[in-house]
Homo-oligomer: A and B are copies of this chain.
Amino acid sequence: MTMTAGQTADFSTLASTLRGLAIDAVETAGHGHPGAAMGMADFATVLYANHLRFDASNPEWPDRDRVVLSNGHASILLYSLLHLTGVLGVDLDDIKAFRQAGSKTPGHPEVGHTPGVETTTGPLGQGFATAVGMALAERRLRDEVGADLCHHRTWVFAGDGCLMEGVGQEAASLAGHLRLGHLNVLYDMNAITIDGSTDLSFTDDTAAKFKAMGWHVLEACGHTHGEIDDALAAAKQETDRPTIIMFRTTIGFGAPTKAGTSGIHGAKLGTEEAAGAKAALGLPPAPFDIPQDISDAWLAIGSRGSAGRQAWIKRSERLPASELAEFYRRAEGRRPSTFPSSTNAPKADWIDSQASVATRKASQMALDVLTHQLPELIGGSADLLGSNLTKTAATDTAFTATSSGRYINYGVREFAMAAAMNGLALHGGFVPYGGTFLVFSDYMRNAIRLSALMGTRVLYVMTHDSIGLGEDGPTHQPVEHLASLRAIPGLNVFRPADVIETMEAYEVALVGPSVPSLFTFSRQSVPQVRLTGGSENLTAKGGYVLREVDTRDITLIATGSEVSLVMAAAELLARDGVSAAVVSLPCWELFDAQPQAYRDATLGAAPRLAVEAANPFGWGRYVGHEDNMIGVPTFGASASAEHLYEQFGLTPENIAAMSQARIAATKS
């Protein structure tokens, strides 16, 4: 086994230092998860010392290896590694403030919060699936810019929980299928879960299972440094298949009585056990006391990758300036300066042609333009491309086991798709979009939540967005999903009414602040509602007056496929001398962020009635009471869209009648 130049301490001492920090940080906080951090310390040490492509002086260098701590509860291990290797902004005081308010060392790793943390983890299995997305990004980018600029690996720390979770299995199956040879999973096989021995609930033959999914499988003692080093080297040798190294470890390694027990998973060791562990590990008894030579050895590990990074910079500078600028434009997540004005021409064409199309088709029309203009867009769907209409001319090349195209067939794996899209976005260089039916946003909901928490620029293309999908029935008809998604902080939920709003929504998603956007699109055709207009992006305001009248008797508010219905209702009302304004409200989050004066002027002082083919839950925000809303308060049914719209009163005639009633009730 090779030691790194300048490394004076042996691996055991280096690893013990990680364990000591885990013990002390958890002891100081009074709570936390020391067990896995102590168990994984040896292979983490060998990884960082001998294998990881990493330069602590620049932890965001584009061609670095990515490290994902999928078992995020072991966060103290990651923080200790970042601190000891010398990442700026992860100081010993931060380690001492572990899990305290305002610290840089929260209970679970949070990207954007702590330098060097690549993704937010904690919800099990998702780190693994997010890493699959990073590996997809790396391979695709390598194909685009060449191995001189992009050639790195994604390392995943994972525990039993990550492998038990369905999303972990989806990730494994997808990664094996696509032969992501630069993905390496370090499985902390400690045989302990929160409830006790893993075999209480998990007796898979994991090696055989991963082999059956096309993986390269290695096994090693997770505390024998030579074995660890050999396994990591073998993982790097393999470039055609993802590798999982099954490290046999002892949870809480070093703790005199609690090692190997579930008692050390999620609780502090306690004074006596902590002292015993530190003595057994040869650590100084004082908390957070790191001898200078050990500290120096760790810093040497942190700077080991500096030369590699410098070489990379040199190589990059040999590129033509425009190529390098384009590389950095994408890596830094900026759009070309010509965007979004480059979409004005197609929008003008659409205003001229005024086609009645399903908004899912409108989405495809917009994506056709966007994927042509923006090479960073990378598409996909969970086995529903013909329904989601997510493939475009520019993305008509599949990402397969052997070629790195722009369209990912994620298979029937919604959750892994969403988590992988987070990984694609976090890696840099890509803005992923992916489709499924809106109802199956349920399957990937926690990944959407993590998108929002992380602020990843991910585009969720959710078609078949209401009872309007018809005969497939209530299992496939979303009714509560708009409300439930609008309740997620930091997620923009768009429900565009036609192709113009659709393109505008995509533009906001691409040029606005980095937040995830979820688009819901209809299966059924709807008339175009935006028939005139310049280049102002009205959807960027979240809501706007689509039809104004001199003096409003009522304001009708709708989204998506129901906007054309309220427009028709307004015409019916006009025949009866009733003046109805129409507000299209494609994005609540953006509308709520507008100045009060704009919102008041838009919604107006007249009585209001909202219409949306969804559960009224939450609509009180705009219409005072959910009763002032025509929606779908129950599950749907298997019947034609027309029948269901009639049944739930989603017709111009009923909207007009309800409007009259609303006006009358307000007057009385």
Contact B638 A106 (CB under 8 A): yes
Question: A434 contacts the other chain (Cβ, under 8 Å)?
Answer: no
Contact A212 B201 (CB under 8 A): no
A409 / chain B contacts, CB cutoff of 8 Å = 195, 200-201
Given known contacts A203-B177, A439-B123, A617-B486, is B106 in contact with A194 (CB within 8 Å)?
no
Question: A133 contacts the other chain (Cβ, under 8 Å)?
Answer: no
Given known contacts A440-B123, A442-B446, A635-B453, is B473 in contact with A31 (CB within 8 Å)?
no
A166 / chain B contacts, CB cutoff of 8 Å = 125, 165-170, 413, 415-416, 443
Question: A193 contacts the other chain (Cβ, under 8 Å)?
Answer: yes
Which residue of B122, B383, B413, B625 is within 8 Å of A472 (Cβ)?
B122
A512 / chain B contacts, CB cutoff of 8 Å = none
Question: A100 contacts the other chain (Cβ, under 8 Å)?
Answer: yes
Q: What's the Cα separation between A202 and B488 when bound, in Å?
A: 32
Q: What's the Cα separation between A194 and B387 when bound, in Å?
A: 9
Given known contacts A161-B383, A383-B201, A484-B487, is B474 in contact with A638 (CB within 8 Å)?
no
Given known contacts A489-B633, A639-B101, is B384 in contact with A195 (CB within 8 Å)?
yes
Chain B, Cβ-Cβ closest to A196: B409
Question: A595 contacts the other chain (Cβ, under 8 Å)?
Answer: no
Residues 463-478 (chain A) with a chain B CB within 8 angstroms: 471-476
Contact B213 A204 (CB under 8 A): yes
Per-residue interface assignment for chain A, residues 434 to 459, with 1 indicating a CB less than 8 Å from any chain B CB and 0 otherwise: 00000110110110011011000000
A633 / chain B contacts, CB cutoff of 8 Å = 489
The smallest beta-carbon distance between A151 and chain B, in angstroms, is 26
A193 / chain B contacts, CB cutoff of 8 Å = 383, 411-412
Which residue of B110, B445, B474, B620 is within 8 Å of A473 (Cβ)?
B110
Contact A638 B108 (CB under 8 A): yes
Question: A640 contacts the other chain (Cβ, under 8 Å)?
Answer: yes
A383 / chain B contacts, CB cutoff of 8 Å = 161, 164, 193-195, 201
Question: A483 contacts the other chain (Cβ, under 8 Å)?
Answer: yes
Which residue of B165, B207, B446 is within 8 Å of A412 (Cβ)?
B165
A101 / chain B contacts, CB cutoff of 8 Å = 637-640, 643-644, 647
Question: A99 contacts the other chain (Cβ, under 8 Å)?
Answer: yes
Question: A173 contacts the other chain (Cβ, under 8 Å)?
Answer: yes
Chain B, Cβ-Cβ closest to A31: B471
Question: A404 contacts the other chain (Cβ, under 8 Å)?
Answer: no
Contact A122 B476 (CB under 8 A): yes
Contact B635 A204 (CB under 8 A): no
Given known contacts A195-B386, A443-B446, is B209 in contact with A203 (CB within 8 Å)?
no
Per-residue interface assignment for chain A, residues 90 to 104, with 1 indicating a CB less than 8 Å from any chain B CB and 0 otherwise: 000000000111110
A439 / chain B contacts, CB cutoff of 8 Å = 123, 446
Question: A480 contacts the other chain (Cβ, under 8 Å)?
Answer: yes
The smallest beta-carbon distance between A539 and chain B, in angstroms, is 22
Contact A99 B638 (CB under 8 A): yes
Contact A165 B443 (CB under 8 A): yes
Q: What's the Cα separation between A29 and B91 when bound, in Å?
A: 67
Which residue of B110, B453, B472, B618 is within 8 Å of A487 (Cβ)?
B618
A164 / chain B contacts, CB cutoff of 8 Å = 170, 173, 383, 411-413
A635 / chain B contacts, CB cutoff of 8 Å = 452-453, 489-490
Given known contacts A445-B445, A488-B480, is B194 in contact with A177 (CB within 8 Å)?
no
Which residue of B99, B103, B200, B475 is within 8 Å of A108 (Cβ)?
B475
Contact A161 B618 (CB under 8 A): no
Question: A72 contacts the other chain (Cβ, under 8 Å)?
Answer: yes
Q: What's the Cα separation between A122 and B636 when bound, in Å?
A: 14
The smallest beta-carbon distance between A404 and chain B, in angstroms, is 15
Contact B169 A398 (CB under 8 A): no
The smallest beta-carbon distance between A480 and chain B, in angstroms, is 4
Per-residue interface assignment for chain A, residues 151 to 170, with 1 indicating a CB less than 8 Å from any chain B CB and 0 otherwise: 00000000011001111111
Contact A107 B638 (CB under 8 A): yes
The smallest beta-carbon distance between A22 and chain B, in angstroms, is 15
Contact B476 A107 (CB under 8 A): yes
The smallest beta-carbon distance between A25 and chain B, in angstroms, is 12
Contact A624 B621 (CB under 8 A): no
Which residue of B165, B385, B624 is within 8 Å of A170 (Cβ)?
B165
Contact B202 A173 (CB under 8 A): yes
Q: What's the Cα separation between A124 and B206 when bound, in Å?
A: 24
Per-residue interface assignment for chain A, residues 563 to 589, with 1 indicating a CB less than 8 Å from any chain B CB and 0 otherwise: 000000000000000000000000000
24 contacts between A and B (CB under 8 A): A102-B639, A107-B472, A108-B473, A110-B474, A123-B439, A123-B475, A123-B476, A164-B383, A166-B415, A176-B203, A193-B411, A193-B412, A194-B384, A195-B385, A201-B410, A202-B411, A205-B213, A208-B212, A209-B209, A209-B213, A439-B446, A442-B445, A484-B485, A489-B634
In order of increasing CB-CB distance, the 10 nearest A-B pairs are A166-B166, A201-B411, A106-B638, A620-B620, A101-B639, A122-B475, A484-B484, A208-B212, A442-B446, A169-B169
* Known interface pairs A123-B475, A202-B411; 5 further A-B residue pairs with C-beta atoms within 8 A, sorted by A's residue number: A101-B640, A164-B412, A173-B204, A208-B212, A453-B474
